[in-house]
Amino acid sequence: MIHLDLNNEPAWLDLGHSVRLHLQPLTTAMMVASRNDPAVAALNEDATDEESALVFAKALARNAVLDWEGVGDDGGNTIPVSPEGIDALLDVWPLFEAFQTKYVAKGLVLDAEKNASAPLLSGSSAGATDIVAPARKPAKTARKS
């Protein structure tokens, strides 16, 4: 069963280190817009998973962040939200990880939500899924030489 959150209001997300982001809800439209971001489209085919994840997270954050708290310049002065500021914020490893796990992953792990799932079979193949169709008839026994 899928649990739908019918509240499409922006919400605050605590990233730790006294940083909070005011974010739009993670919707299909938000994901599609982020996938079509020029920086994502410009990724090379040989980009690593890590490079792709960072570029996509930054694109998503640029679309989703409405405001923030706890973000300032070198002098300790609060700075306004900007695309460059968002990119710089996500270059800080612990903040990137928190954004990935607390916001981005929610949009990518829907399949992992298994509320009211049927019980699995027992044994070493419990939960396994078929990857090919079963054989139509048994294979013939090999000839003895």
Q: 21 and 13 in contact (C-beta within 8 Å)?
A: yes
Higher pLDDT, 129 or 98: 98
Q: What is the pLDDT of residues 2-22, one digit of tens each?
A: 767 677 899 999 999 999 999
Q: What is the pLDDT of residues 23-55, one digit of tens each?
A: 999 998 999 999 999 999 999 999 999 999 999
Residues paired with residue 99 on neighbouring β-strands, in sequence order: none
Domain ranges of the chain: 11-108
Q: 54 and 37 in contact (C-beta within 8 Å)?
A: no
